[in-house]
């Protein structure tokens, strides 16, 4: 059986030299009204045979990137699709706002309805607690800047481009405070419900600064969240006590911690884990970020943390932290997060979290 033609991909017109309003097809070897192959017939047959027999991933052309989309009042959203999941990026507010199953109108990321469709204010956290929501990056540790989150890391529109391999790259201005520019490269797996974001800090100007890549994913109030406790963890209770230890919301299970959101009061836990799991009513979200052995991590050595926000703004945060390094002009520091969605099925939240962690 011949493989189908890859789906059409629409890319930002001005980035490709195409007249706006006339999307450009990226389907190779396909022109209206005829079928031409720029390769010898034997090469075409060999390629078809390989495609039919290979058990590997589907070709990258399965991923589509569509720009200039309307999303909750914004007119310039960028959407990535692979037929299984889709990601929604709004560059003008500097965030990946949603990651959801294809055909769904919502997903696990929390989005602040108070700011839906609005332009980026100078101080988003003062305009509405929780800011816009979604997924973004801040420099770690927080003691480097206290509050609110600094300039281009939280309150600047991002430039974007679509690459030939169907990635969306978001680039910030240079931070006037730290002399650092951020770049976030977003991709979807060709067929799995998986999104990857590589976040890079580039030191462009100014004095050396010690920081790490911190990625914050604001998610909806879940049934429960789970933080694995690595074997040999330095924390006797399974979590740092830097922010105290929740009592009613936290329970220690076999090899992991279970946390729920409290309606009154905020809480936070963290340890040396590489994974976090969020369990909602309809889906699960797993976030992974590899830990670098022997590296210097912030917050008493934490590489994974969970924060819960009280009412009346019911959201939680899944946070990953990279090693802290001193950046000098020309240095770059990167960390990659992998996000995997799964459908909720019968069984307890704990059982399903363990099954997702076992994949």
Averaged pLDDT, 197-218 = 98
C-alpha torsion angle, residues 72, 76, 81, 84 (rounded to 10) = -10
Nearest C-alpha neighbor of 240 from the set 158, 149, 172, 306? 306
pLDDT tens digits for range 221-249? 999 999 999 999 999 999 999 999 888 99
Mean pLDDT, rounded, of the chain: 87
> 228 in helix, strand or coil?
strand
For residue 314, pLDDT beyond 60: yes
Is the per-residue pLDDT at 21 higher than 70? Answer: no
**pTM summary value:** 0.83
Share of the chain above pLDDT 70, in %: 83
The whole-angstrom separation of Cα 253 and Cα 269 is 15
**Count of CA atoms in the C-beta half-sphere (13 A) of 313:** 20
Contact residues for 143 (Cβ-Cβ < 8 A; gap 6+) = none
Q: What is the helix (H) or strand (E) element at residue 308, kind and residue range?
A: strand 304-308
Question: Who wins on pLDDT, 23 or 111?
Answer: 111
8 pLDDT more than 80: no
What is the percentage of the chain residues whose pLDDT exceeds 90? 81
pLDDT level of residue 16 (50, 70, 90 thresholds): very low
Distance (Å, whole) CA 210 – CA 196: 25
Model confidence pLDDT, tens digit, residues 331-343 = 999 999 999 999 9
Cβ neighbours of residue 294 closer than 8 Å, sequence gap 6 or more: none
Q: Identify the weakest region by mean pLDDT among 23-32, 178-187, 241-250, 313-322.
A: 23-32
Over residues 270-274, mean pLDDT: 98
User: What pLDDT shows up at residue 94?
Assistant: 96
pLDDT at position 247 is 86
pLDDT category of residue 289 using cuts at 50, 70 and 90: very high
DSSP-based three-state secondary structure for 266: coil
* pLDDT at residue number 146: 93
Q: What is the dihedral of CA 115, 142, 278, 132, to 10 degrees?
A: 10
User: Residue 40: its pLDDT value, please?
Assistant: 46
Those residues whose C-beta lies under 8 Å from the C-beta of residue 160, and which sit 6 or more positions away, are 12, 78, 89, 91, 168, 169, 170, 171
Q: Which of 178, 176, 217 is nearest to 197 (CA)?
A: 217
CB atoms inside a 10 Å sphere around CB 302: 23
Q: Is the pLDDT of residue 58 over 90?
A: no
Confidence class for position 292, pLDDT limits 50, 70, 90? very high
List of domains in the chain: 134-357 (2.70.98)
Q: How far is the C-alpha of 161 from the C-alpha of 143, rounded, in Å?
A: 33
Tokens, residue 126: 């003062």
């Amino acid at each position: 059986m011949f493989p189908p033609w890859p789906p059409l991909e629409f890319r930002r017109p001005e980035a490709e030299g195409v007249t706006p309003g006339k999307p450009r097809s990226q389907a190779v070897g396909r022109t209206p009204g005829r079928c031409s192959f720029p390769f010898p017939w034997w090469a075409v047959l060999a390629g078809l045979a390989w495609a039919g027999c290979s058990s590997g991933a589907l070709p990258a052309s399965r991923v589509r990137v569509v720009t200039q989309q309307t999303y909750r009042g914004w007119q310039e959203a960028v959407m990535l699709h692979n037929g299984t999941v889709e990601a929604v990026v709004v560059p003008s507010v500097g965030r990946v706002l949603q990651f959801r199953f294809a055909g769904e109108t919502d997903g696990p990321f929390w989005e602040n309805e108070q700011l839906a469709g609005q332009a980026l204010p100078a101080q988003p956290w003062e305009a509405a607690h929780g800011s816009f929501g979604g997924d973004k990056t801040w420099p770690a540790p927080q003691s480097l800047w206290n509050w609110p989150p600094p300039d281009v890391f939280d309150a600047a529109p991002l430039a974007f481009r679509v690459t030939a391999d169907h990635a969306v790259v978001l680039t910030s201005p240079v931070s006037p405070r730290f002399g650092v520019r951020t770049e976030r490269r977003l991709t979807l797996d060709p067929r799995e419900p998986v999104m990857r974001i590589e976040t890079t800090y580039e030191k462009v100007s100014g004095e050396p600064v010690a920081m790490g890549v911190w990625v914050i994913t604001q998610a909806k109030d879940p049934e429960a969240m789970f933080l694995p406790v690595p074997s040999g963890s330095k924390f006797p209770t399974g979590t740092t006590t830097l922010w105290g230890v929740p009592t009613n919301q936290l329970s220690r299970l076999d090899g992991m911690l279970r946390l729920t959101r409290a309606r009154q009061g905020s809480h936070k836990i963290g340890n040396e884990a590489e994974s976090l799991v969020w369990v909602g009513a309809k889906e699960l979200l797993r976030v992974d970020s590899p830990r670098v052995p022997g590296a210097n991590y912030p917050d008493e050595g934490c590489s994974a943390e969970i924060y819960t926000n009280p009412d009346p703004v019911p959201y939680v945060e899944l946070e990953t932290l990279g090693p802290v390094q001193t950046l000098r002009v020309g240095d770059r520091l990167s960390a990659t997060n992998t996000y995997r969605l799964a459908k909720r099925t019968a069984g307890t939240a704990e059982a399903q979290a363990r099954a997702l962690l076992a994949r």
